[in-house]
Structure formats: structure tokens, C-alpha cells
């Protein structure tokens, strides 16, 4: 089974160094988020992305969302952040809101699926959000499960389902589960609701009234 690292505050630096080493070598980590466990890889390493898709059994024509520490980190991968996106971030981040932004040209097609856009989210899980800030760059955030299987909420479940295909699993407590993150496309005006999730259309109406659905 995949190695489980139980989160301890006094070992935060050791976790950062070990995770950074694994990511640099094309490794894949499993991290808890405010919804389900996610699979983290360096989004600029083609080999790591190919390994990620193979692990999940996921078609390569599906884009992969990225986890970021904040709006500033989102700028590493986005061409620009519209004003409405900044207002949504201020209201709902950190939290289960994925925003689709125009992607910078250096992002691999395996991340964008050739769409020219990228989905980003700031996770509300405290240890993971802090880790991203210390790491200094975004990571992939696709759900930690085989394609077609239910998303997972506990480290032990990830270890059983994904086994040695994942290099390290962070156990910082179980994920809440339930609905997935809400997805909003802010590359169009007005923005569009791509996927309903934890944050309801009524919640979003405080920022984007009469949000159309794609």
C-alpha cells in the first residue's frame, strides 16, 4: 500500500522537504481537501501527468484542475484574473469553488486538454493550503480514485484503492465528502455555472446574479 504520512505540526518542515523531493522526481501525492482526497503532481512535468492519467485510467482529453495557495499563485498559470473572479475568490476562497480561467501558454496540454483554459481552486484544508504556500507553485488536484469509482475521503481508503501507484498519502484527518466543488467559468461574460456543487447557485448570486448554466 501507499505510504501514509500522518500530519504533525512539528514535522511540517520534514513533510515539505519530502513532498518537494517526490514532486521534483515526478511523484504523485494524495492530499485531503475540503471535499475529497486529491492527487497532486507537478503540472509542468509531462511524465508525472502521464503517470497520473494512467493511474486513474482517465482519458487525456479531460482537463485537470490545479490547487493553489491563493489568487497570487493562480496568476502563475492564468493569463489574467477578471474582476468578477477576484470577487468570487474573496467571497468563497479558500473553499469548494473551482474557477476556470484563461491559461498561460506554457501549461502542458495534459492540464488544459487543449482548451486554453485551466481550473483553479484554493483548498480550505489548513495543512494543505499552508503547504501550497510553502511549496510555491500549484499542483494538480484531480480526485484520488480510479476513473468510474467513487471519490475517497480517508487516507486508508486511498492506500487500499491506489496502492503503490501513489508515492505518499498525507493523513490530516478525513475529508467531509458529500458534493464536489462547484465549477464556474469566468472566461466568458457573464460567467457560467459548469458544475453545481457545494456552493449553490443561490450562494453565487451574491456575486453573479442570474448565473447561466452551461
For the segment 111-164, what is each residue's pLDDT rounded down to a tens digit? Answer: 999 999 999 999 999 999 999 999 999 999 999 999 999 999 999 999 999 989
State what percent of residues in the chain have pLDDT above 90.
94
Predicted local distance difference test score (pLDDT) of residue 1: 62
In whole angstroms, what is the distance from residue 116 CA to residue 202 CA?
29
Cell numbers 461574460 correspond to 189
Q: Which three cell numbers stand for residue 128?
A: 494543505
Task: Name the pTM for this structure.
Answer: 0.96
Give strand pairing partners of 103: 78
Length of the chain: 214
Predicted local distance difference test score (pLDDT) of residue 76: 98
Evaluate if residue 204 carries a pLDDT over 70.
yes
Amino acid at each position: 500500500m501507499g505510504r501514509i504520512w500522518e500530519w504533525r505540526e512539528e514535522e511540517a518542515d520534514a513533510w515539505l522537504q519530502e513532498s518537494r523531493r517526490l514532486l521534483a522526481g515526478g511523484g504523485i501525492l494524495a492530499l485531503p481537501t475540503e471535499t475529497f482526497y486529491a492527487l497532486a503532481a507537478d503540472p509542468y512535468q509531462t511524465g508525472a501527468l502521464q503517470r497520473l492519467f494512467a493511474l486513474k485510467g482517465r482519458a487525456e482529453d479531460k482537463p485537470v484542475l490545479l490547487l493553489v495557495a491563493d489568487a497570487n499563485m493562480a496568476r502563475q498559470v492564468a493569463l489574467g484574473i477578471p474582476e468578477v473572479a477576484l470577487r468570487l475568490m474573496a467571497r468563497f476562497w479558500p473553499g469548494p469553488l473551482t474557477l476556470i480561467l484563461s491559461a498561460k501558454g506554457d501549461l502542458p496540454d495534459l492540464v488544459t486538454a487543449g482548451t486554453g483554459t485551466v481550473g483553479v481552486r484554493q483548498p480550505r484544508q489548513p495543512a494543505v493550503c499552508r503547504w501550497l504556500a510553502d511549496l510555491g507553485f500549484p499542483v494538480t488536484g484531480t480526485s484520488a480514485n480510479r476513473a468510474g469509482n467513487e471519490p475517497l475521503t480517508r487516507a486508508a481508503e486511498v492506500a487500499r484503492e491506489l496502492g503503490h501507484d501513489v508515492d505518499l498519502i498525507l493523513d490530516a484527518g478525513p475529508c467531509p465528502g458529500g458534493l464536489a466543488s462547484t465549477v464556474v467559468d469566468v472566461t466568458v461574460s457573464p460567467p457560467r455555472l459548469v458544475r453545481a456543487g457545494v456552493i449553490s447557485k443561490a450562494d453565487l448570486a451574491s456575486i453573479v446574479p442570474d448565473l447561466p448554466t452551461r
